[in-house]
Structure 1
Amino acid sequence: MIGLCLGLAGAVWAQLSISHFTLAWDHTIEKIRWEEDYRVTEQGLVLEEARVRGNGAGMEIAPDARLENGSWHMRRQLPPLQPLNLGRTPEAGDYQLCFDDQCQAMSRWVGAPTNSQPFIQMWTCKTG
């Protein structure tokens, strides 16, 4: 079975047996929530949809985005990501990982963000 691995440079810090998830965070400057839905495939992580409740620095709304329930919904055509690289520092706050109808801070699986380790990777991997 394939699932989601969290870690760095191929070193697995955590494995999750999930087939899809939402990665969510609050933009560090605009303080607006951003959400991205991913599907876990053998080729990598496939971005299915992104949602944001506004725009601002580094938060450009795609021309084909649609406004629905106060959020802009966008679909980007990207190849599968393997790995997905994420910046992660205490000043920026933590990402949330959402699956099975719950959102939890990424620190639950990999510890709190630190300045000495300012990024993390996510990738598709085989799980037990």
Structure 2
Amino acid sequence: MIGLCLGLAGVVWAQLPTPAFTLAWNHTIEKIRWEEDYRVTADGLLLGEARIKGSGAGMEAPQGAELRDGAWHYRRQVPALQPLRVGRTPEAGDYQLCFDGQCHALSEWLGPPRADRPALELWSCEVAAQS
């Protein structure tokens, strides 16, 4: 079963058997929520729709974005990401992974962000089915 691996440089720290997820976080300065929807495929993570709930320092909605329900909705055409690399530090706060109707802080699987591990990679991988 294809799922989501979390780790760094190919070392798996956690695996999640989910075919799709939303990566969410708050902008470190403006404290405005960003969300990106991904589908997990054998080729990597495919970005679908993204949303931003405002604008400010370095976070303008891209051209063509639509304002709906208090957030700018948009799509970007990018190839499958394998891996998706994100920064994760104590100063910036934590990301959330949302799937199956619930959002979870990454710290649920990885512990709190640490200064000695300032990056994280997410990629599609084979995971054992949970029963």
Band the TM-score falls in, shorter-chain normalisation? over 0.9
Q: 2:33 matched to which residue of 1?
A: 33
- Give the alignment's TM-score, normalised by structure 1: 0.98
SS for the counterpart of 1:108 is: helix
Write out the 4+ residue segments of structure 1 that deviate beyond 6 Å after TM superposition: none
Q: 2:118 matched to which residue of 1?
A: 118
Instruction: Mark the runs of 5 or more structure 1 residues left unpaired by the alignment.
Output: none
CA distance in 1, matches of 2:82, 2:34: 21
- 1:17-42 superposed Cα distances (whole Å, 9 cap, x missing partner): 00000000000001100000000011
CA distance in 2, matches of 1:123, 1:53: 26
CA distance in 2, matches of 1:58, 1:98: 24
Instruction: Mark the runs of 5 or more structure 2 residues left unpaired by the alignment.
Output: none
Q: 2:6 matched to which residue of 1?
A: 6
Instruction: Map 1:73-112 to 2 at 5 A.
Output: 73-112=73-112
- 1:92-117 superposed Cα distances (whole Å, 9 cap, x missing partner): 00000100100010011111101111
Report the Cα offset of residue 51 of structure 1.
0.3
- 1:35-75 superposed Cα distances (whole Å, 9 cap, x missing partner): 00000011100010110111112212111100000100010
Instruction: Report the count of equivalent residues.
Output: 128
SS for the counterpart of 1:90 is: coil
CA distance in 2, matches of 1:93, 1:74: 24
Task: Report sequence identity in percent.
Answer: 66
Q: Give the root-mean-square deviation of aligned CA atoms.
A: 0.6
CA distance in 2, matches of 1:9, 1:57: 31
- Aligned letter for 2:126? K
CA distance in 2, matches of 1:58, 1:102: 28
CA distance in 1, matches of 2:58, 2:107: 25
- Aligned letter for 1:83? P
- 1:68-98 superposed Cα distances (whole Å, 9 cap, x missing partner): 0010001000000000001000110000010
